[in-house]
Amino acid sequence: MRPRITLLVAAALLAVAVQGRAGPPPPAPALQPGAGEGLGIANLGDAGAALLRPFDDPIVLSLDAGSGATSTPLHCQALLELAPHIVGTRPATDWNVLQQRLADCHALRWLAAAGQARRSAMPPRLDAARETWRWPAAIWPAVSRDEVDALAGAGQTLRQASGRRAWTRTALGGAAPEALTLAARGYSVRLQWLARGDFDGDGWEDWLLRWQARAEGGSWRAVRCVLLTRKMPAGAFTVGP
């Protein structure tokens, strides 16, 4: 009987230790100040309906279904269903507009899925996450497949990818969400904190960020949404999806 009791006590102590490392109970899921305005919502509860809100100016998409195949989605839900098949826009000059729209629609889908996190190892605010060695290299811009593969290498960090540069807090003015910016090696990256909550259903607090990148002095630019999380208060961040 004694060994069994000892094992139960050890398990209880381990559970307490794990809970202690995770910190206090995380706050309720919520938009960050200013984040809802750009998405046309006032709170998280509006996100589901916003996925079906008609676009003011629908974009004609070229699809991979065959020569000349096109579609004109009328709202975010329809656009997200077509996203894996999009190969261009008509006219081509709408491509950058499409990328912003896709990022906004992905954000709305994540926000609609937000739940209450049970555990958190996240810092109190975005500008407390400026040590680039805690970030994976995959957050750095990658234009070619070779660059994507290089950044995905084991042990690669943003500190290495950026040439040891550091995040700086960006004051965007007005009601814009809190942001960090990093510029190095011909590129710049900006992260805006949109919301916090459990977005992927694993019980841990995630942050939803808008990721924007561009080539300095060039025409290349990109925008998407990423989820930031970690499971140890002093550990490295992971970025997905």
pLDDT digits (tens, 9 = 90+) for 46-81: 999 999 999 999 999 999 988 889 999 999 999 999
Among 27-36, 56-65, 140-149, 166-175, the least confident range:
166-175
| Residue of 1 and 27 predicted with greater confidence | 27
CA distances from 44 to 19, 48, 123, 157 (A): 28, 8, 22, 32
Higher local confidence (pLDDT), 44 or 19: 44
Question: What is the tens place of the pLDDT at every residue in 78-103?
Answer: 999 999 999 999 999 999 999 999 99
- Report the percent of the chain where pLDDT is more than 70: 88
**From start to end of 43-186, where are the E strands?**
60-63, 70-71, 86-90, 168-170, 179-184
Would you place residue 172 in the very low, low, confident or very high pLDDT band (cuts 50, 70, 90)?
Answer: low
Place of tokens 């290089």: 150
Residue-level pLDDT at 3: 52
Burial of 183 (0-12, 13-18, 19+ CB in 10 A): middle
Segment 118-138 shows an average pLDDT of: 93
Mean of the per-residue pLDDT values for the chain? 89
To the nearest 10°, report the CA torsion of 115, 116, 121, 126.
Answer: 70
Nearest to 103 by CA among 170, 35, 29, 46: 35
- Does position 13 have pLDDT exceeding 80, yes or no? no
pLDDT band at 174 (very low <50, low <70, confident <90, very high): low
Helix (H, G, I), strand (E, B) or coil at 141: coil
Statement: residue 151 has pLDDT above 80 = yes
* Signed CA dihedral, 106, 107, 111, 115: sign only: positive
Q: Is pLDDT at 12 greater than 70 in this prediction? A: no
Confidence of residue 17 (pLDDT cuts 50, 70, 90): very low
Q: What letters, b where the CB count within 10 A reaches 16 and e where it falls short, cover 185-198? A: eebbbbbbbbbbbb
pLDDT at position 19: 47
- Token pair for 177: 């969400």
Per-residue pLDDT at 20: 43
CA atoms of 211 and 3, how far apart (whole Å) = 52
Q: What is the pTM of this model?
A: 0.86
Which residue is it, tokens 């290299």?
137
pLDDT at residue 14 is higher than 80: no
Q: How far apart are CA 182 and CA 169, in angstroms?
A: 9
* Domain range list for the chain: 35-112, 126-240
